[in-house]
A = this chain, B = another copy of it.
Amino acid sequence: MALSSEAPYPTCPFDYRYGSEEMRKLFRRDNMLRRYIDVEVALMKALEEVGIAPKGCYEVLSKCALRVKVEDIDRLESKYGHDIASLAIALAEACGECGKYVHLGATSYDIVDTAWSLIIKDALRIVKDKLRNVLNLLMRLSIEHKDTLMVGRTHGQHALPITLGFKLANYVYELSRSYERICDLEDRLIRGKVSGAVGTMAAWSDKGPKIEEIVLKTLNLRAHAITTQVAPRDGFAELVSALAILASQLDRLALEVRELSRNEINELIIASGKIGSSTMPHKSNPTIAERISGLAKVSRSLITVALENIPLMHERDLTNSSSERFLIPHTFLVIDQMLIDTERMLKSLRVNKEAMLRNLNLSKGTIMTECLMVKLVVKAGIPRHKAHLMLSELSKKALGRGVSLRDVINESDVAKLLSRDDINECFDYSRYLGSYEYLIERALNYAKNALRRC
């Protein structure tokens, strides 16, 4: 049995299902070749300016390059088995007399690595824009819910009251650190490689540094201080690692939403309106959050490739080539989809304040034992760890009997040691939020500074 259809379908989900069109197009073969040509053209400019290529060849190449098609290169590559050599031949054939000078003195990775920098620069611009949007949304939500009371949870267990704004401000801080990391790595990664075979610039005699300068000025890139035949691969590993860290942070946020939208908790709800299950009509699943967590695993896996690509042999071996054709597009497409999903998830979130209060009361006041413990120390002179044990016992008693801690406290020694006001204060959640406003503000300021960095 065959599914009728005319189109040839891709196998990779990033070619049809995940990732934005704006990101995808950066890594399509045509754009990759376009960027290679940009570098070849910039090189022609330099060769002309230093007097190796004839006057006018830069202008000529700029135009004739427009006539080269992907198919031309494919045809040549199937003959020569080398993509950049084929591109150089295609350009040469299209460009008459000036064609003679195409790629002169350059090695393939002058083109490939410099083009990677141009493409990655564009890709990081998209990542930064989307991350900025996520950060702005989170900052807005953090301010909006600055005072929305809920329980803080550690070990999956109720710990102490917090506010939703406080919780979200943590994500603001964490994600802004990823923004900083991107700024840091751009400085090391987005650099041109214009140094010829083995990196000595030998084919250009003494004009190498000048050629490098012109090419990179044209392309608006800085240079690596030195290279082998290829740019150093640590920059790529730093990129993949920084994006895997970001992915894992988004995973943490998605996990937060998935957990808080459990039926029993119900504090956050992702509005959906789509089919949740093919067989259970009642289902409404946090699928968008689950997709973020699913894709985070893909992002984390890629770092292995990037790290193994660092120890290339001597002036380079080719083992980075096939693996990077896979690594770099997928690294960006996966984070692209995750940021899109995170933005959509945040925009569709509904906050259920009633559930938050109901859950806060679920533990019958026992979450306030720390407050009482501190008061027992400070006001009643009980040693801290003794007070800890006392309240631990009282807590268990309350939970065991199913009554509120308040009731148990009233019958206990604590009621003799502390004043009624002190005890009352401890059972008022909104008075036990510490310096949350100060901390939220500090986190948001941190993020604003980070966003100004690059």
Contact = CB atoms under 8 A, between A and B. Distances in A.
A401 interface: no
Interface string A233-260: 0110110011011001101100110110
Contacts of A434: 195-196, 200-206, 208
A245 B234 contact: yes
A397 to B, nearest CB: 11
Majority secondary structure, A binding face: helix
Nearest to A358: B264
A57 interface: no
Given A226-B169, A318-B155, A363-B263, A323 B308 contact: no
13 contacts: A2-B66, A11-B27, A82-B277, A102-B385, A107-B279, A154-B315, A155-B276, A172-B226, A200-B439, A294-B319, A301-B301, A301-B302, A303-B303
Given A37-B1, A280-B197, A252 B312 contact: yes
A415 to B, nearest CB: 16
Given A88-B385, A278-B84, A433 B200 contact: yes
A15 interface: yes
A81 B2 CA distance: 24
A5 B84 CA distance: 18
Given A155-B258, A282-B392, 18 more contacts: A2-B66, A5-B69, A82-B275, A88-B278, A88-B384, A88-B385, A159-B280, A177-B234, A196-B434, A225-B446, A226-B442, A248-B308, A251-B311, A264-B359, A281-B389, A281-B392, A281-B395, A303-B307
Interface stretch (A28-36, A124-132, A345-353): A28-36
B241 A12 contact: no
Contacts of A249: 234, 310-311
Contacts of A258: 155-156, 317
Contact of A316 (B154, B322, B329): B154
Contacts of A238: 181, 241-242, 245
B315 A293 contact: no
Contact of A362 (B237, B264, B442): B264
Contacts of A114: none
A139 interface: no
Given A374-B203, A384-B88, A259 B313 contact: yes
Interface in A1-21: 1-5, 7-19
B184 A263 contact: no
Most B CB within 10 A of own CB, among A156, A169, A170: A156
A11 B33 contact: no
A118 B14 CA distance: 23
A439 B305 contact: no
A198 B317 contact: no
Interface string A119-163: 000000000000000000000000000000000111111111110
B82 A13 contact: no
Contact of A280 (B160, B177, B394, B443): B160
Contacts of A388: 85, 275, 278-279, 281
A153 B252 CA distance: 21
A319 B307 contact: no
A60 interface: no
